[in-house]
Amino acid sequence: MKNHIMPFMRIIFLCYHILVYLSGISLALDSISQDLSLSDDGKNTTLVSKDGTFELGFFTPGNSQKRYLGIWYRKIPIQTVVWVANRLNPINDSSGILRMNPSTGTLVLTHNGTVIWSTASIRRPESPVALLLNSGNLVIRDEKDANSEDYLWESFNYPTDTFLPEMKFGWDLRTGLNRKLIAWKSPDDPSPSDFSFGMVLNNYPEAYMMKGDQKFYRSGPWNGLHSSGSPQVKANPIYDFKFVSNKDELYYTYSLKNSSMISRLVLNATSYVRKRYVWIESKQRWEVYTSVPLDLCDSYSLCGANANCVISDSPVCQCLQGFKPKLPEAWSSMDWSHGCIRNKELSCENKNKDGFNKLTLLKTPDTTHSWLDQTIGLEECKAKCLDNCSCMAYANSDISGQGSGCAMWFGDLIDIRQFAAGGQDVYVRIDASELEHANEGHKKGGVLVAVTVTLALAAVAGILIILGWCYRKKSRCSVKERSDFSIKSNQNSGMQVDDMDLPVFDLSTIAKATSNFTVKNKIGEGGFGPVYRVICL
């Protein structure tokens, strides 16, 4: 009897382990078909992308008691949710069920028989299946469709607060779909806040951060290299990026250069910023790589109309050339919201009385009232702007290469800022007499710099000639008295000359010959600076 029981027990033991193994596999499925469902039953049943990067299931955010269906990074110990399905309709307990509806080809999330959330479908598939891709995109496709990327629905078209690699930020113009980010209300509440970031279809499109219906930050239009307001976005070791604009689509996207790297863009309503994070495995934490708004000058229309924000100036707001503060008293009190008005009104009857002042290194103005023609160049753009009395400025729409395209602005110029580098040229329309003053200022500034440099070089040459005379007399220069400061000699200057009758002296020799430029040896002063005598023994 015992001999018969032992083999039987071995079979049961083997079957048990096979069932455990198979149940483990079922917990790591990456798809839901019409025969399967996902339940929030406390057994941590989830979908996992094939490469194990992303996981879909039910979760509770922060200190909340609510349950949500979402997607997060599976291998990161800090739960980082990148997408939420039912952010408008949380579930109060752990009885949510996600199923595939075979008749409609849609995913349906129910709670006690009530539909909490569902997808839409552009057509009825024969054999619908939902898959969680390695990109973090939850998609629905027809298994009998030969085109595996012909999706009936995808979560990437309905982002929450996170912009993932390969996702499109912008518009599908064929369907009117607008893919924009809407921040969570708080770390405990993923419901939509009033803080959003999306592309706006102006004639010259650009993206805005909005607080409710108020503009908070403006990216600037795409200028062929980057968004006009983001010159810091350039070639880097983390990601590649591109902007697509055609009759069917208008969007921005990015891809990671290293598949092992993890990076994401997040819109945060708590701090009102959009940050790019990179996961640092060795430190087991997220690090901020970039963040916007950058500074005070990124605050939308901080300086009002027809003004320029220069973060290195004090005050930061300056009226454009040819303009003056609309309310001088408020302006001097650091209230720049009323902006600037023209010193002289434009003459629409005679366009020859108008001209254009070239401003450089700018973030171009708000494009709400703009016009774009990518087929013409700068000269034709200038002529078209001059012919239109309402045109207040123009610029190349594409600054890559030699520059191309034409963008024109009408009415007040809003939300301009100046960068130290990476900005672009904008030509602002002003009265011709104001333009003459601007040019005279530029010329005077250039002449002053040239004269200063010339006279400074002459002063140095004069000292060298005197020292050369001392040297040729084989005299030795001594120091009569020392000043309160010392100058470190450059012993390895490496300077050489071909004419040995004109020796080169380093700074320490000149300092000693003038007693470290002491006031006692100062014999005069001119427009080029002080003149010192040297003491030769």
Q: What is the tens place of the pLDDT at every residue in 497-522?
A: 333 344 545 545 565 666 655 545 65
Torsion angle (degrees, nearest 10) of CA 335, 340, 341, 346:
-170
Domain end call among 423, 438, 453:
438
- Do 307 and 433 fall into the same domain? yes
Do 192 and 70 belong to one domain? Answer: no
Are residues 255 and 171 located together in one domain of the fold? yes
- Rounded to whole angstroms, the Cα distance separating 236 from 521 reads 55
Verify that 145 and 176 share a domain, yes or no. Answer: no
Q: How many domains does the chain have?
A: 3
273 part of a folded domain? yes
Q: Is 123 part of a structural domain of the chain?
A: yes
Q: What percentage of the chain carries pLDDT values higher than 70?
A: 75
What was the pLDDT predicted at 461? 52
- Statement to judge: residues 311 and 414 lie in one domain: yes
DSSP secondary structure of 82-116: EEES-TTS-BSSS-EEEEEETTTTEEEEEETTEEE
Give me the pLDDT at residue 462, please. 55
Q: What is the pLDDT of residues 452-478, one digit of tens each?
A: 344 444 544 555 555 555 555 544 444
Residues 433, 341: one domain? yes
Residues 290 and 302 placed together within one structural domain of the fold: no
In this structure, the answer to whether residues 363 and 275 fall within a common structural domain is no
Q: How confident is the model at residue 485 (pLDDT cuts 50, 70, 90)?
A: very low
Whether pTM exceeds 0.75? yes
Same domain, 258 and 278: yes
Of 122, 154, 116, 132, residue with least CA distance to 72: 132
Residue 465's pLDDT is 52
Q: Which of 294-308, 455-469, 478-492 has the lowest mean pLDDT?
A: 478-492
Both 223 and 130 in one domain: the answer is: no
Q: What's the CA angle centered on 108, arms 106 and 111, to 5 degrees?
A: 170
Instruction: Please check whether residue 128 lies inside any domain of the structure.
Output: yes
Tell whether 19 is covered by a domain.
Answer: no
Is residue 496 one of the residues assigned to a domain? Answer: no
State mean pLDDT over 108-116.
95
Q: What is the mean pLDDT of residues 66-77?
A: 97
Mean pLDDT of 403-423: 97
pLDDT tens digits along 202-249: 999 999 999 999 999 999 999 999 999 999 998 999 999 999 999 999
Task: Identify whether 444 is part of a domain.
Answer: no
Does pLDDT of 102 surpass 80? Answer: yes
The answer to whether residue 506 is domain-embedded is no
Question: Residue 299: pLDDT above 70?
Answer: yes
Final residue of a domain: which of 91, 123, 158? 158
The whole-number pLDDT of residue 493 equals 36
Q: Do residues 212 and 321 share a domain?
A: no
In a domain, 467, yes or no: no
CATH of the domain at 138: 2.90.10.10
Domain of residue 202, residue span = 164-294
Instruction: Give the 3-state secondary structure of residue 150.
Output: coil
Q: Are 62 and 51 in contact (CB under 8 A)?
A: no
Residue 327 has pLDDT above 90, yes or no: yes
Residue 219 has a pLDDT of 97
Q: Of 438, 473, 506, at which residue does a domain stop?
A: 438
Summarised one tens digit per residue, pLDDT across range 265-286 is 999 999 999 999 999 999 999 9
Please say if the pLDDT value at position 339 is more than 50: yes
pLDDT tens readout for residues 359-395 = 999 999 999 999 999 999 999 999 999 999 999 999 9
My answer on whether 34 and 147 are in the same domain is yes
The predicted structure's pLDDT at residue 328: 97
pLDDT digits (tens, 9 = 90+) for 8-28: 444 444 443 344 344 444 346
